[in-house]
């Protein structure tokens, strides 16, 4: 080995990164029944668009060449503030930008003035002749932020999407908290996850389900987010593509690797192993799926369960050539800055996530280079380039968010209940790829199931908390009744309690 690259001097750590880290996904009210594990049939690698598994794939009949080129580059945005799609909503059409979120299932737009929503917003409720209110209130809570609005239906068209006009459920947001944030360029949210997460109930058909049944497209969409190496939230925007109904060949290189969707609510997948700089973290694989591992375009960072996060940070610290980082960098409260002439990426290791293949005795790994998780932040100093850590800890899930997704073309193959990953051509920094996919690997050394069979989903927790509350209520009631009893009775009761067991028994049998 030759000389080590001269370590760029870490110049300073700045506070204030926390405000730039947005993360959100909704909490389910209802959970669909646990799904059967992936069926290991055939090759996991596919280059052809998915077959018409649910009989809706009229447009992809052999010979009826569908072009998805109209949908290439239909997104704008960045990892910090999300990627959005332009839509025309209502009659006459109102042009709104809609955040693409695979971690929730409601379609909602701003329906009342908000200081963080730009001027192009109009009150849909009073302006659109095709709007129909359903008069039902709906509230959606995300990891960060929430909104309350009213349910209705209206028509939409997607200029750079599927041709045609479709009638969909739409919530108009009347009140919100930490949902619209300063600097965002979108006015609504498109939840692309399953109806199990839809609020107020799963009977609210999701946008994509409506699109699939009305446009008769295959039940597949795919997402490419092109922010690799770009500032987390610069003045401009980066591009991206949301392909509805299939897979666009120009958006990926090499093979697509598929992992089964464990349960259809979030896009829940099974993670088998993590490696930092080629070194296995060696945690029990259930730690990686505590209490679920999901693919969520609406979450900015790669979020890891606390135990996994600690192990990853420890591994990065021991692998990287920099030992002087204060903990603030890892927790997201500080930025690390270097002289503009130096880039710190060579100091950090690669990070690999192993996913269960469709053939369950195999796995494949998606790898991100530091260019994806040591993320530039613009506009701090003149001669400095500052970076934040693109990974954070989480108490409720492992979330494959934009930090990772920006390396890949991700296929949400709902028809075949699987999520595919392929290397994205736009995941390059300075002409070099910043993501990799390799496989297959054996899973002989890994438990046959890394997802806890009885995950305590939110509804279950509610049931338990209601049960505990009832119990407390009953105890309280008993105490109150005892207090209200005439003194004689109270006295006797006290006697009972303080007497020893035999006297108690005697008392009772008297
Ligand atoms: C896998 O698929 C085959 C054929 O589609 C079916 O016969 C078999 O029961 C499936 N196995 C599981 C575990 O779902
Ligand atoms: C699954 O993978 C194993 C190990 O690579 C292989 O032996 C087996 O034939 C594969 N099964 C199928 C159905 O492809
Ligand atoms: C939509 O229609 C236009 C014009 O007819 C056509 O060029 C385009 O390919 C169509 N897009 C899709 C996705 O079918």
> What is the signed CA dihedral for 39, 40, 41, 47, rounded to 10 degrees?
100
Whether the CB of 59 sits within 6 Å of ligand 3 = no
Residue of 362, 440, 442, 446 to mutate, ligand 2, most atoms within 8 A of C-beta:
362
Residue of 39, 41, 262 to mutate, ligand 1, most atoms within 8 A of C-beta:
39
Phi then psi for residue 77, to 5 deg, are 140, -165
Assess whether 331 and 245 both reside in one domain. yes
For the chain, what percent of residues have pLDDT higher than 90? Answer: 57
More confident residue, 464 or 55: 464
DSSP class of residue 26?
Answer: B
- β-pairing, 293-295 with 398-400? parallel
Last residue of some domain: 442, 473, 491? 442
Of the listed ligands, the closest to the CA of 216 is 3
Question: Could you tell me if residue 311 is inside a domain?
Answer: yes
Determine the Cα–Cα distance for residues 351 and 370; give it in Å rounded to an integer.
Answer: 8
What pLDDT, on a 0 to 100 scale, did the predictor assign at position 237? 67
Range in 162-171, 226-235, 408-417 with the lowest mean pLDDT: 226-235
Whether the CB of 51 sits within 6 Å of ligand 1 = no
What pLDDT, on a 0 to 100 scale, did the predictor assign at position 22? 36
Q: Are 141 and 396 in contact (CB under 8 A)?
A: no
Give the CATH number of the domain where residue 147 resides: 2.40.70.10
Whether the CB of 362 sits within 6 Å of ligand 2 = yes
Structure tokens belonging to residue 122: 């109009």
CB neighbour class for 462 (10 Å; exposed up to 12, middle 13-18, buried from 19): exposed
Which residue, by CA, sits nearest to atom 1 of ligand 3?
163
Mean pLDDT of 179-197: 93
Beta bridge pairs of residue 419? 259, 412
Determine the Cα–Cα distance for residues 424 and 101; give it in Å rounded to an integer.
Answer: 19
Assess whether 306 and 201 both reside in one domain. yes
- Residue 138 pLDDT level (bands cut at 50, 70, 90): very high
Question: Could you tell me if residue 7 is inside a domain?
Answer: no
Structural domains in the chain (count):
2
What pLDDT, on a 0 to 100 scale, did the predictor assign at position 509? 37
Of the listed ligands, the closest to the CA of 161 is 3
What pLDDT, on a 0 to 100 scale, did the predictor assign at position 114? 82
Full residue range of the structural domain in which residue 464 is found: 459-508
Which residue, by CA, sits nearest to atom 8 of ligand 1?
39
- Above 90 in pLDDT, residue 491? no
Assess whether 329 and 471 both reside in one domain. no
Mean pLDDT of 118-128: 60
Q: Are 222 and 192 in contact (CB under 8 A)?
A: no
Assess whether 469 and 333 both reside in one domain. no
Assess whether 84 and 189 both reside in one domain. yes
3-state secondary structure of 97: strand
What pLDDT, on a 0 to 100 scale, did the predictor assign at position 137? 95
Question: Could you tell me if residue 129 is inside a domain?
Answer: yes
Assess whether 112 and 193 both reside in one domain. yes
What pLDDT, on a 0 to 100 scale, did the predictor assign at position 164? 95
For the chain, what percent of residues have pLDDT higher than 70? Answer: 75
Mean pLDDT of 216-230: 94
Structure tokens belonging to residue 180: 């619209």
Range in 48-57, 150-159, 163-172 with the lowest mean pLDDT: 48-57
Q: Mind telling me the catalytic residues?
A: 101, 296
Whether the CB of 41 sits within 6 Å of ligand 1 = yes
- CA 361 / ligand 2 centre spacing (Å): 7
Question: Could you tell me if residue 59 is inside a domain?
Answer: no
Last residue of some domain: 400, 416, 442? 442
Assess whether 212 and 145 both reside in one domain. yes
Determine the Cα–Cα distance for residues 428 and 408; give it in Å rounded to an integer.
Answer: 11
More confident residue, 468 or 414: 414
Angle of CA points 112, 116, 121, to nearest 5°: 45
Whether the CB of 70 sits within 6 Å of ligand 3 = yes
Question: Could you tell me if residue 86 is inside a domain?
Answer: yes
Whether the CB of 67 sits within 6 Å of ligand 3 = yes
Which residue, by CA, sits nearest to atom 1 of ligand 2?
359
Contacts of 67 (CB under 8 A, 6+ apart): none
Q: Are 490 and 481 in contact (CB under 8 A)?
A: no
Beta bridge pairs of residue 384? 339
Annotate 308-343 with b (16+ C-beta within 10 A) or e (fewer): bbebbbebbeeebebeebeebbbebbbbbbbeeebb
Assess whether 219 and 293 both reside in one domain. yes
Ligand 2, residue 440: give the atom nearest the CA: 5
DSSP assignment of 122-178, as one string?
A: --HHHH-TT-EEEEEEEEEEBSS-EEEEEEEEEEEE-TTSSSS-EEEEEEEEEEEES
Whether the CB of 163 sits within 6 Å of ligand 3 = yes
Determine the Cα–Cα distance for residues 490 and 480; give it in Å rounded to an integer.
Answer: 12
- Inter-CA distances, 227 with 80, 233, 238, 409, Å: 10, 10, 6, 12
Rg (CA), the chain: 26
Q: Are 407 and 368 in contact (CB under 8 A)?
A: yes
Whether the CB of 65 sits within 6 Å of ligand 3 = no
Determine the Cα–Cα distance for residues 104 and 196; give it in Å rounded to an integer.
Answer: 9
Cis bond upstream, residue 199 (ω within 30)? no
Assess whether 433 and 501 both reside in one domain. no
Of the listed ligands, the closest to the CA of 363 is 2
Question: Could you tell me if residue 65 is inside a domain?
Answer: no
Determine the Cα–Cα distance for residues 311 and 54; give it in Å rounded to an integer.
Answer: 42
Whether the CB of 36 sits within 6 Å of ligand 1 = yes
- CA 407 / ligand 2 centre spacing (Å): 28
Assess whether 200 and 174 both reside in one domain. yes
- CA 449 / ligand 2 centre spacing (Å): 17
Assess whether 183 and 250 both reside in one domain. yes
- CA 103 / ligand 3 centre spacing (Å): 29
Q: Are 428 and 246 in contact (CB under 8 A)?
A: no
- Residue 228 pLDDT level (bands cut at 50, 70, 90): confident
- Above 60 in pLDDT, residue 490? no
Ligand 1, residue 36: give the atom nearest the CA: 14
Structure tokens belonging to residue 54: 């649910």
Determine the Cα–Cα distance for residues 80 and 86; give it in Å rounded to an integer.
Answer: 18
Beta bridge pairs of residue 132? 153
What pLDDT, on a 0 to 100 scale, did the predictor assign at position 459? 59
What pLDDT, on a 0 to 100 scale, did the predictor assign at position 382? 74
Beta bridge pairs of residue 365? 354, 438
- CA 39 / ligand 1 centre spacing (Å): 6
DSSP assignment of 367-433, as one string?
A: EE-HHHHEEEE-SS-SSEEEEEE-EEEESS-EEE-HHHHTTEEEEEETTTTEEEEEE-TT-EETTEE
Of the listed ligands, the closest to the CA of 60 is 3
- Residue 25 pLDDT level (bands cut at 50, 70, 90): very low
- Above 70 in pLDDT, residue 323? no
- CA 38 / ligand 1 centre spacing (Å): 9
Question: Could you tell me if residue 24 is inside a domain?
Answer: yes
Last residue of some domain: 391, 416, 442? 442
Percentages helix, strand, coil for the chain (3-state, rounded to 5) are 20, 35, 45
What pLDDT, on a 0 to 100 scale, did the predictor assign at position 473? 82
- Inter-CA distances, 457 with 30, 33, 144, 396, 443, Å: 9, 11, 19, 10, 27
What pLDDT, on a 0 to 100 scale, did the predictor assign at position 196? 97
Assess whether 105 and 164 both reside in one domain. yes
Determine the Cα–Cα distance for residues 491 and 342; give it in Å rounded to an integer.
Answer: 82
- Above 90 in pLDDT, residue 353? yes
Ligand 2, residue 40: give the atom nearest the CA: 13
Q: pLDDT per residue over 360-369, tens digit each?
A: 999 999 999 9
Question: Could you tell me if residue 448 is inside a domain?
Answer: no
Mean pLDDT of 468-496: 65
Contacts of 472 (CB under 8 A, 6+ apart): none
- Above 80 in pLDDT, residue 462? no
């Amino acid at each position: 080995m030759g000389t080590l690259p001269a370590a760029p001097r870490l110049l300073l750590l700045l506070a204030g990164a926390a405000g730039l880290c947005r993360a959100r996904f909704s909490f389910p009210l209802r959970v669909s029944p646990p799904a059967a594990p992936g069926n290991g049939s055939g090759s996991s690698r596919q280059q052809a668009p998915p077959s018409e598994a649910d009989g809706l794939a009229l447009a992809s009949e052999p010979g009826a060449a569908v072009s998805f080129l109209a949908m290439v580059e239909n997104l704008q945005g960045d990892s910090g503030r999300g990627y959005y799609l332009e839509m025309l909503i209502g009659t006459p059409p109102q042009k709104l930008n809609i955040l693409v979120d695979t971690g929730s299932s409601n379609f909602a737009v701003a329906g009342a003035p908000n200081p963080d929503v730009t001027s192009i917003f109009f009150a849909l409720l009073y302006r659109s002749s095709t709007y129909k209110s359903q008069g039902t209130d709906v509230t959606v809570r995300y990891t960060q932020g929430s909104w309350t609005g009213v349910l209705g239906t209206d028509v939409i068209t997607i200029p750079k999407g599927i041709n045609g006009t479709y009638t969909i459920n739409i919530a108009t947001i009347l009140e919100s908290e930490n949902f619209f944030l300063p600097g965002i360029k979108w006015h609504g949210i498109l939840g692309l996850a399953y109806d199990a997460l839809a609020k107020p109930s799963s009977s609210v058909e999701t946008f994509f389900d409506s699109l699939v049944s009305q446009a008769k497209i295959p039940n597949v969409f795919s997402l490419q987010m092109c922010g690799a190496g770009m500032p987390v939230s610069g003045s401009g925007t980066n591009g991206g593509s949301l392909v509805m109904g299939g897979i666009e060949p120009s958006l990926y290189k090499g093979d697509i690797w598929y992992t089964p969707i464990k349960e259809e609510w979030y896009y829940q997948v099974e993670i088998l192993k993590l490696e930092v700089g080629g070194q296995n973290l060696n945690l029990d694989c259930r730690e990686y799926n505590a209490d679920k591992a999901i693919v969520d375009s609406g979450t900015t960072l790669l979020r890891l369960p606390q135990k996994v996060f600690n192990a990853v940070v420890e591994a990065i610290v021991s692998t990287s050539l920099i030992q002087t980082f204060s903990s603030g960098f890892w927790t997201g409260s500080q930025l690390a800055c270097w002289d503009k002439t130096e880039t710190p990426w060579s100091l950090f290791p690669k990070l690999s996530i192993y996913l269960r293949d469709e053939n369950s005795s195999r796995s494949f790994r998606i790898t991100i280079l530091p260019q994806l998780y040591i993320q530039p932040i613009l506009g701090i100093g003149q001669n400095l380039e500052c970076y934040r850590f693109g990974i954070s800890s989480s108490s409720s899930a492992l979330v494959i968010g934009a930090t990772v997704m920006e390396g890949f073309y991700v296929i949400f193959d709902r028809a075949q209940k699987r999520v595919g990953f392929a290397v994205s051509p736009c995941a390059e920094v300075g002409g070099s790829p910043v993501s990799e996919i390799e496989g297959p690997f054996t899973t002989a050394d890994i438990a046959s199931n890394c997802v806890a069979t009885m995950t305590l989903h939110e509804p279950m927790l509610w049931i338990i908390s209601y049960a505990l509350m009832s119990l407390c209520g009953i105890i309280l009631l008993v105490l109150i009744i005892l207090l209200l009893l005439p003194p004689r009775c109270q006295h006797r009761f006290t006697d009972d309690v303080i007497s020893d067991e035999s006297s108690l028994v005697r008392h009772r049998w008297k």
